Structure 1
Amino acid sequence: MIDELRNALRHHPAAVTIVTAPGPVGLTVSSFGSVSMHPPLVGLWIGKSSSAYPALSVTDHFAVHLLHADQTDLADLFARTNADRFGSGTLWESDVDGLPRLLEAPVRLRCRTARRIEAGDHIALIGEPEDIEHQANTQPLLRFQGRYTSVAQYGRGWGAARPIRH
């Protein structure tokens, strides 16, 4: 059943994000989305076995960085176990509360933790955006069928998904 579910979910494209918390800690997450508009809430799922889980399970604030289609290397870095995620190859700074801000991410949502919900081997981390940084006309990095993908925009319409290396 687990393999069947995993294979079925590979057919659902998901935006690739990096979630950060004070420490600094961070990890690549593709289970992110809007929860509510009234009040504004976003949510993501964090595995309890993740190296960032201890920090994210207690933090008052976290940031969600939506990645650009060209940021596959950054997504891979934050997905690797025991990687130096905040080393010299990552452009970042801490905000006033020590929350890491990835400088090259086209979208950043700085969130106050509103709620945590335990479900199986994950927690849902629900956040209330307090600050939003967004660049116009960016191509999002997506994950689909086990590969990175992007959506090509042609004029006012959307084109077909195209594979990106990996």
Structure 2
Amino acid sequence: MRLDLALVERGLARSRTHAARLIADGHVRLNDATVTRASQAVSADDRLEADVERWVSRAAHKLLGALDDSGVHVPARVLDAGASTGGFTQVCLDRGASTVFAVDVGHGQLVDELRNDPRVVVAEGRNVRDLTLDDVGGEPVGLVVGDLSFISLTLVLPALLGVLSDLSWTSRPDF
């Protein structure tokens, strides 16, 4: 069996894509030797280890840094605009959010761990430009986080401000 498939089958990676990233980054050991080829053959008797990243995506580190540097507290209700795989959503839950509205124009990107979390309200195929209070349960959210690098903020700010309770802080950190 291929190494990337073995990682998923043994529960050491969430998906083949995640497995490929772990392998490429040198975080996988096969019988105590670091392996960097996803196609490496693995047998049932081989010992397989992976240093698994806690966060579902690298984007989580961007938000962690922004929150830590700014001292912003994560409130109970949060909107993650452009949720993708869910790195920002995961951080918000970890920092105390009881509900995160994970909105993305794409489909099927949010990891199952978050998709199946009852605290996450998933809205796929939804453009943040068209958001209304109804999309966030009828009441404003206390914080909007988002990684919207492929759209101008001037196009999305009116909708985001319409679902946000107070405008206290905004930031758009680049990569």
Query: Larger % of strand: which?
Result: 1
Question: Which protein has greater RCO, CA pairs closer than 8 Å, 6+ apart?
Answer: 1
For Structure 1 versus Structure 2, the TM-score category normalised by the shorter chain is: under 0.3
Whichever structure has more helix as a proportion of its residues is 2
Say which one has the larger Rg. 2
TM-score (norm 1): 0.25
